[in-house]
Amino acid sequence: MHSVRRLTTISALAVALVGAFATPEFAHGSHDYGRHDFHNSYARGADHAVFVQTDALTGNSVVAYRRDGDGTLHQAGTYATGGNGGALTGSVVDHLASQGSLTYDAQHALLFAVNADSNTVSVFGVRGDHLDLQQVLPSYGDFPVSVAVHNDLAYVLNARSGGSVQGYGIFFGHVFPVAEATRPLGLDASATPEFVNTPGQVAFTPDGSQLIVTTKANGSNIDVFRVGWFGALSAPVVNSEPGAVPFAVTFDAARNLVVSEAGTNALATFSLHHDGTVTLLDAVPTGQKATCWVVGSEGRFYVSNAGSASVSRFQSGPGGAISLLGNTTTDGGTVDAAVSANGRYLYVQTGATGTVDAFRIGYDGSLTAIGSVLVPNSAAGEGIVAV
């Protein structure tokens, strides 16, 4: 069923692409900076690399690092996104207050970066630890903060003006907007403080049939959209979690939804149903402050606590059960994090100084510090990818 759907979607996107190229947004020298071939020895796609977004207000960049066999990082290059980073009012160590602002699409070897203050999204081609800026696209909303990709579809979450989701198709490595894949969130744009009342993340379910948006304190909701033909979105099913402040999401091996909750400083798991409703399975407090980001790997979850300068370690169990393994200290302002593709290393952004702390992951989920790198011009920036 999914294969037939995908083939049909690709055919429809091919037709749409012809029209998209004729629009001003895709003219060379406007939003689209054009494609350029790579001339290096790397195979197509990211390899042994960590990419970090600076979110610098005067010119956003992605800093690329080569990951050595022992997990240590060495700067390989800095790549301008063609847009400016942004800062939500009231933010200190997390200017975007979101997860997924830098997203890697392994299928198409593309890296997506948001330019929040420019209302654009940059698309890079990736080879090894090298990047090539191929497109800069409008986000069709105000203040983009998160990107999700599945097969030939991508969605961008805009945080301001009540929030919105914009969909895009991916065809032969080129990204273009899909008109039917636009949805306003209808959040209260006047709610303050701003950085806790803007949506936190957009994410696909593992099978790509549903799209998740967290609203944080603005309703404290988990919104679930059905993804239809050609990326069209249904009206959302709104799952209210009063006081929880759902921030970021991932999934366990059984495809249960895993949510970091900033309001209760806890990690929670939910069964996600086909009708878009969720049922709470388990919730365990971290014992820390400002529990916001979560990344999973090999049956464990690592949760960033911005107010405690720590990472909480969780073990996943049957039926969505989770257990707290302990907390590990980081540098100040713990924000977004990523696990290397081989599952051996965790890289954590620390927004107070703009560093990335590297840890070796033990067989029992323990974390051993192996060094830090200072990312230029990235204090309070967010967005990290590890492969």
Strands 73-80 and 102-105, sheet pairing = unpaired
> Phi/psi class of residue 262: alpha, beta or left (left: φ > 0; alpha: ψ in -120 to 50)?
alpha
Measured distance CA(50)–CA(134) in Å, rounded:
19
Cα dihedral value 335, 341, 346, 352, nearest 10: -30
Give the model confidence (pLDDT) of 240-291 as tens digits.
999 999 999 999 999 999 999 999 999 999 999 999 999 999 999 999 999 9
| 300-305: strand order across its sheet | 291-297, 300-305, 310-316, 322-329
d(CA 366, CA 271): 27
- The whole-number pLDDT of residue 25 equals 39
Q: What's the pTM?
A: 0.90
CA angle 173, 174, 180 (to 5 degrees): 125
Mean pLDDT for the stretch of residues 362-372:
96
C-alpha distance from residue 84 to each of 16, 211, 296, 321, 351 (Å): 29, 27, 30, 41, 18
- pLDDT tens track for 194-239: 999 999 999 999 999 999 999 999 999 999 999 999 899 999 999 9
Tokens matching residue 72 = 């240590």
Half-sphere exposure of 58 (CA within 13 A, CB side): 3
| Six-digit token string for 209 | 């049939």
Residue 23: how many CB atoms within 10 A of its CB?
13
Gap between the Cα atoms of 355 and 336, Å rounded = 11
Categorize the per-residue pLDDT at 171 as very low, low, confident or very high, splitting at 50, 70 and 90: very high
Judge contact between 328 and 367, C-beta under 8 A.
yes
Residues near 18 by beta carbon (within 8 Å), at least 6 away in sequence: none
Residue-level pLDDT at 180: 84
Kindly state the percentage of the chain with pLDDT values over 70: 89
Q: Check residue 43 and give its pLDDT.
A: 61
Q: Which tens digit of pLDDT belongs to each residue from 306-344?
A: 999 999 999 999 999 999 999 999 999 999 999 999 999
Answer for the pair 222, 278: CB distance below 8 angstroms, yes or no. yes
pLDDT band at 45 (very low <50, low <70, confident <90, very high): confident
Alpha-carbon distances of 293 from 44, 205, 247, rounded to whole Å: 29, 17, 7
Model confidence over 133-143: pLDDT tens digits?
999 999 999 99
Beta carbons of 237 and 277 less than 8 angstroms apart: yes
The C-alpha atoms of residue 163 and residue 214 are separated, in whole angstroms, by: 11
- Count CA within 13 A, CB hemisphere, residue 244: 23
Strands 45-46 and 120-128, sheet pairing:
parallel
Q: How confident is the model at residue 46 (pLDDT cuts 50, 70, 90)?
A: confident
pLDDT band at 44 (very low <50, low <70, confident <90, very high): confident
pLDDT at 256: 98
Q: What domains does the chain contain, in order, with CATH numbers? A: 45-386 (2.130.10.10)
* DSSP 3-state of 13: helix
> Would you say residue 11 has pLDDT above 60?
no
To the nearest whole percent, how much of the chain has pLDDT over 90?
86
The answer to which of 40-49, 162-171, 355-364 has the lowest mean pLDDT is: 40-49
